[in-house]
Amino acid sequence: MSSEQTLFLGLLAFRVINALILQTSFVPDEYWQSIEVAHNMAFSYGAKTWEWRHGLRGYLYPLIFAIPYKILGILGLDNRIVLIKLPLLIQAVFAALADVYLYKLSSKLSGVRVGRWSLLCQLTSWFTFYCAPRTLTNSLETALTTIAMHHFPWPGYSRKAHWKYLVLVGVAVVIRPTAAIVWIPMVLWHLRMYFHCFWDVFRLYVEKGFLILAVSSIIDRYFYGKWVYVHLNFLEFNVFSGLGSFYGTHPWHWYLSQGLAVILGIQLFPFVLAVKNGLQPTFIKIIAWTVAVYSCLGHKEFRFIFPILPLAMHLSGLYLALLLDVSSWLPCSKSSFFVTILIAGNLPLALYTSLIHQRGTLDVMRFIYEESSRNASLSVVSLMPCHSTPHHGYLHRNISLRFLTCEPNLDLVANYTDESDVFYEDPVAWLNKTYATSSLPSHIVMFDVLLPRVSDFISRNSYEKCAEFFHSHFPRGSSWRLRSGLLFEGVEVVVEI
Ligand SMILES: *[C@@H]1O[C@H](CO)[C@@H](O)[C@H](O)[C@H]1NC(C)=O
Ligand SMILES: *[C@@H]1O[C@H](CO)[C@@H](O)[C@H](O)[C@H]1NC(C)=O
Ligand SMILES: *[C@@H]1O[C@H](CO)[C@@H](O)[C@H](O)[C@H]1NC(C)=O
Ligand SMILES: *[C@@H]1O[C@H](CO)[C@@H](O)[C@H](O)[C@H]1NC(C)=O
């Protein structure tokens, strides 16, 4: 076995453990845009959010999970835990590949020693640990971007096989159109480098682009039942119409003032010094460009800039390797000093976010699953900010689940308020109205801050608390419409008696 294969197996073992450690939720999309849809594709039940009803998302990504789901279903091995863990393990494979290719890329550009330091920065990165095995298109986009960077025809290195990088970039863009942002400067650079044979390279782009688009369109044609231009719809919604701002806006400098610092963690220091010293200018330019473009979009999230994190890890590794060469002030074993700092600076945050922060919304799903084993005619309503908990994909049981919706104003109705807003305006009035005609749910799930506001409805209909779960030490801010003075946030379940 070659040393590269050994390295891959070691990294795979690391990411598999990484994936199995995750006990917390990060963002709703990791369930609602992936495994929930895959569950629907394989088992014919599972919710589809408005993005799927309006053709904004492609089926290629959930298909990665729907195929194994279907096979497990046919073999009768579709156990709940298997269905929850398998997608994480699939993502772990992508994450391990990204680690290997970051090491190869870094070694190719700056030598094996830098490669090792970059890999160490990547493996200790708390945000990569927290995010890479999650079923998010951002995680796959990050892995594909890193692998494609390695296959990019860097000047001075092997010139063959341009198509490998093109296919990887094409797939990344098809899965998440915003991947194009990172790649626009690289593609232009590629075309300029090969200007002498422009038409040959251009033809390659058209060929591969057409092929990938055709495959993804056929998959969408099959699952939507008609031709849908998901990428155009996605761009129109997120970039041109500004409706994306429905999900919150941040100041333009958010990535610079918080976003980058948070996802880089302690690697921020070597990264900033590498940028200051202008090491590897190409990567600095890509990172600057990507952050600048994302800063112009109203809706900002940490995970959006995840694809540039491995590049930043290369810069950090480069700086650390350089520092080891020149510094004399450190104790004799300089490298173990840096290794210790990297691990000690990241491990607490990685474990805290992966094991403790925001775990209640997953624990409550296990509780509901256990309840539904006792009584299959359970009906659950979740009075939480929309998409707070996973859905059928996390139960693998077709019980009645209802949640407050929060669809953006797609039809441009005047004075539009979504269901969540109407609910939080006056919870009891909403409950009175909704359950005036239909029968009451058997279980209500909510965050503890809501309980006092609905206690009137709860006691009048004789519900009692049957479970509570710890969720977070940091109750969500106003963007989640649940500002509270409580130090701990919990999830409560009440049951009708
Ligand atoms: C799931 O339950 C819903 C509502 O009870 C029902 O309409 C649907 O047919 C069920 N689907 C499957 C696959 O059992
Ligand atoms: C929208 O709100 C404005 C001001 O509050 C009001 O004048 C108008 O009638 C409302 N339009 C509709 C369709 O409710
Ligand atoms: C809800 O209904 C109950 C009983 O009909 C009533 O006493 C209460 O005032 C209503 N609350 C609101 C906010 O409508
Ligand atoms: C199961 O739950 C339904 C709905 O809450 C309830 O009507 C029924 O009595 C329960 N059955 C058992 C056996 O507890």
Total structural domains within the chain:
2
For residues 9-29, b (16+ Cβ closer than 10 Å) or e, as one string? eebbebbbebbebbebbbbbb
Does position 123 have pLDDT exceeding 90, yes or no? yes
Chain-centroid distance, C-alpha 172: 14
CB 406 within 8 A of CB 49: no
pLDDT at 229 over 80: yes
- Kindly state whether residues 339 and 258 are assigned to the same domain: yes
Amino acid identity, position 109: L
Tell which of 355, 382, 400 closes a domain. Answer: 355
pLDDT of residue 481: 42
What's the distance, Cα to Cα, between the start and end of the chain in Å?
63
Residue 167 has pLDDT above 60, yes or no: yes
**Atom 1 (ligand 1): residue with closest C-alpha?**
398
pLDDT at residue number 414: 79
From atom 7 of ligand 1, which residue's Cα is the shortest distance away? Answer: 45
Q: Which of 207, 88, 177, 190 is nearest to 149 (CA)?
A: 190
| Nearest atom (ligand 4) to Cα of 496 | 5
Render pLDDT for 54-106 as a digit per residue (tens, 0 to 9). Answer: 899 999 999 999 999 999 999 999 999 999 999 999 999 999 999 999 999 99
Domain endpoint, select from 300, 321, 355: 355
pLDDT digits (tens, 9 = 90+) for 233-243: 887 877 676 66
Strand partners, 380: 401, 443
pLDDT tens digits, 367-407: 999 999 998 888 999 998 889 899 999 999 999 999 998 88
**Is residue 143 domain-shared with residue 54, that is, in the same domain?**
yes
Ligand 1 pocket, CB under 6 A: 44-45, 398
Q: Do residues 154 and 109 touch, judged by C-beta distance below 8 A?
A: yes
Nearest to 404 by CA among 447, 462, 368: 447
Nearest protein Cα to ligand 3, atom 14:
429
Residue 287: which domain range? Answer: 3-355
Nearest to 270 by CA among 310, 324, 223, 317: 317
> Is the same domain home to 319 and 218?
yes
One domain for residues 293 and 421? no
**Any ligand 2 atom below 6 A from CB of 414:** yes
Question: Which of 432, 437, 458 has most ligand 3 atoms within 8 Å of its beta carbon, as the pocket-test mutant?
Answer: 432
| Same domain as 257, residue 129 | yes
Which residue's structure tokens are 């308020």?
417
Considering the domain architecture, whether residues 261 and 297 belong to the same structural domain is answered as yes
Check residue 478 and give its pLDDT: 37
Query: 428 in ligand 3 pocket by Cβ < 6 Å?
Result: yes
Amino acid (one-letter) located at 242: G
Whole-number Å distance, alpha carbon 424 to ligand 3 midpoint, is: 16
Angle in degrees, 0-180, between the axes of helices 451-460 and 427-434, rounded to the nearest 10:
30
Q: Comparing C-alpha atoms, which of 259, 278, 320, 307 is closest to residue 121?
A: 320
Q: Which residue out of 45, 70, 397, 400 has the highest number of ligand 1 atoms within 8 Å of its CB and is therefore the one to mutate? A: 45
Distance CA 73, CA 62 (A): 16
Same structural domain, 79 and 227: yes
Same domain, yes or no: 319 and 375: no
Where residue 413 falls among pLDDT bands split at 50, 70, 90? Answer: confident
Among 332, 355, 378, where does a domain finish?
355
Ligand nearest to the CA of 433: 3
Tokens 């005609």 correspond to 437
Chain-centre distance for alpha carbon 103:
23
Query: What's the average model confidence in pLDDT over 408-426?
Result: 84
Candidate of 39, 379, 398, 438 to mutate for ligand 1, largest count of ligand atoms within 8 Å of Cβ = 398
Ligand at minimal distance from the CA of 444 is 4
Q: Is the same domain home to 307 and 415?
A: no
* Whole-number Å distance between alpha carbons of 70 and 332: 56
Do residue 185 and residue 310 come from a single domain?
Answer: yes
| 313 and 389 assigned to the same domain | no
366 and 350 fall within a common domain:
no
More confident residue, 216 or 465: 216
Q: What is the pLDDT of residue 433?
A: 94
**Among the ranges given (177-181, 288-292, 487-491), the one the predictor scored with the smallest mean pLDDT:** 487-491
